[in-house]
Structures are given as structure tokens and as C-alpha cells.
Amino acid sequence: MIQKEFKKTCIQYIFALAWTDGHFDPVERDFLATLVDRFELDHDDYMEVITWLEQAPPEPNWNLLKTQPEIARDVLKQAMLLSMLDMSVSIEEMQLLERLKEHIGMSQQDFWQIQAEVEKIIAAQVKG
């Protein structure tokens, strides 16, 4: 079970990536709304996180994910998936993904493995 504050922080990383280009397209907005629902936040946290659809969240605690490597991997994967939904990854999005990789202590090989997994997901969605 993920602790309350940790859940919100995981979502915060992904919203931080979404805001790197200053706006959301409809696909990104739908992805984020689904993600928020999946985390089953309590009412107060939900209300706070929903405001991040209109304005960028505060800077996340970049060191928090080091304590949960498996969850950190999933957060990075979700963030990468979000960045690729529009079929282009901006320099700012890649920099944030790299920053997240460094903060969680992930190897470049593991990063590339996640990237390959995400590319397969995106390819399947494009075909389907």
C-alpha cells in the first residue's frame, strides 16, 4: 500500500513532466485524469491534484522515489508514456525524464528498457 503523501508525489512527478511544454493536449489530459482516478486519492488530495490540470504543481520532492525503486520505475514509465503520447518528446520532457532517472538511481540500460516497453505500447495504440 502506497502512503498518502507518496501517492500524491508520484502523480506530481508526472504532472511536472506534462507541464514542461506549458499545456496539455486532449490525449494528455485524458491520460492524466485516468491516472489520478487510478491512484484513489482521498478527497482533499484529489481536489489539490485536479488543480494541476490548470496550473503546474509545486516542485516535487525528487529524492522521495529512491525509497521505492519498483514504484519509481512505474512512475518513470508512466511519465515516459505521457511524453510520447503526442508522438514527439520535447527537449524539456527528455531533460525531466533524465533528471528523474538520475534521482532514482536507474541505470541507462534500465531506462532504455523502459523506453522500449513504452514504444511498444504506443505502437500498439497506433495500430489499434
Q: Where are the domains of the chain?
A: 4-127
Residue 1 confidence (pLDDT): 43
pLDDT at 7: 83
The alpha carbon dihedral of 106, 25, 117, 46 has a sign of positive
Give the pLDDT score at 128: 67
Residues in the chain with pLDDT values less than 70? 1-2, 128
Is there a contact between 83 and 97 (Cβ–Cβ < 8 Å)? Answer: yes
Q: Report residue 17 as a C-alpha cell.
A: 513532466
Q: What is the pLDDT of residues 103-123, one digit of tens each?
A: 888 999 999 999 999 999 988
CA-to-CA distance for 122 and 117, rounded, in angstroms?
9
Task: Give per-residue pLDDT as tens, 4-13.
Answer: 778 888 899 8
- pLDDT of res. 26: 83
Superfamily of domain 4-127: TerB-like (1.10.3680.10)
